[in-house]
Structure 1
């Protein structure tokens, strides 16, 4: 398989050991990557504010209040950038937890620099491939119960071919639900999927948008509540029959 062009790929190395930062960054730079370094969580956040990165090598044990697992969770709330965890503790529980919070791979210390380079190349290649597939999937028009939902043109067409006027929030909400039929979404998950932020205890805007969306679907559907069902104590689920139109 052909390697991806590396001139625009930047790796961020986060480790409190200066020797490791220098050693890894020098090796990756010689392999053709751009490299940034940070000693802790604050340094990581600052680097991410300054420039985008394509992959993060993140040490599990860091000084201060933020360890690698905490930082990985924080990153995953807003980004799918690949993360490879580094750890001097070769324990199964650390490896499992690291992968569960969103890390793409895990390397135990001490490591060989050739292994680090191989893992970086593999994870970047895999991320590029899956990202291309996801973009293609996300661009597909969705058909459900006679309706057409077009993500590229951001249009909803009724079974009679009429365009339905939706607000940006209503469109994003319907799209998130229709892309995952049968999946029960909490209000928090819908808020994050459509607005990129967490649901607040007294924020009922999701319920309001669901009500408006049902009303707009109701003039064609026998029962719009049958397409978007409430799940008591949890949230909502889309139950329409969904198929990709193209």
Structure 2
């Protein structure tokens, strides 16, 4: 391509546009999708490998992944399985030059929500992206943006802002905050907050809660919003 791809991951673009991460080791496909999706109203970031994608996902919340199956290092299938194993609910559209039925079944079993063989028609990909985003949208009666103090958490994107500034969250912190927001005002036990539901991981949960407090509380040692409930766990108070 002669032109430079749109850099829609930079500041200045609307934060309300869905943010898509394209993961493909083929530079031409990355540039094509970045340009095409940006022209159709999306923010787009790209990654050539699963390792680079994981690094981007540590600091940013994405609304959808477009994921190639065959990549050097960790494959797209392995990445999808890992994300689903960590209970990451982000929609995944898998791309592959492998078009056999068995390959599609393997992709869906790995946790992808849709599967598109290469070569593909960009308009078809766009329709599939739009359908996946529509299916993953929260019910209309569910609050999407939740405020507590100087913070605002977007439940759909998993994005936390403090005084309007984006706060970087780890995948685990994002999962915890979603769980607290969805159960605001209700105590949640350490067992329910643990990834494997084990109470003996209480110390690990406490450390994660303390780190989360550093990001949302004015005075983490005297929390106002993310409070300890003696003998019951933790609860989040929202405005």
TM-score by length of structure 1 reads 0.54
Q: CA deviation at 1:205?
A: 3.6
RMSD: 2.7
Equivalent of 2:125 in 91, 116, 131: 116
2:99/2:117 contact within 8 Å kept: yes
Give the counterpart of 2:36 among 21, 24, 27: 27
CA change 1:6–1:97 in 2 (3 A) is farther
Q: CA deviation at 1:99?
A: 1.3
Residues 205 and 96 from structure 1, CA distance in 2 versus in 1: closer, same or farther, beyond 3 angstroms? same
State the match for 1:36 in structure 2: 45
Higher helix residue share: 1
Show the counterpart of 1:189.
none
Q: What SS is found at the alignment partner of 2:112?
A: coil
Instruction: Pick one of 10, 14, 25 that aligns with 1:16.
Output: 25
Pick one of 167, 171, 189 that aligns with 1:169.
Answer: 189
Q: Give structure 1 stretches of 5+ with no counterpart.
A: 137-149, 155-166, 174-193, 207-246
Q: Which runs of 4+ in 1 moved over 2 A?
A: 5-8, 131-136, 150-153, 194-199, 203-206
> Residues 95 and 6 (structure 1 numbering): CA distance in 2 closer, same or farther, change over 3 Å?
farther
Given the two structures, how large is their TM-score scaled by the length of structure 2?
A: 0.56
The alignment partner of 1:132 has SS state of coil
Contact 1:86-1:108 at 8 Å conserved across structures: yes
SS in 1 for 2:46: strand
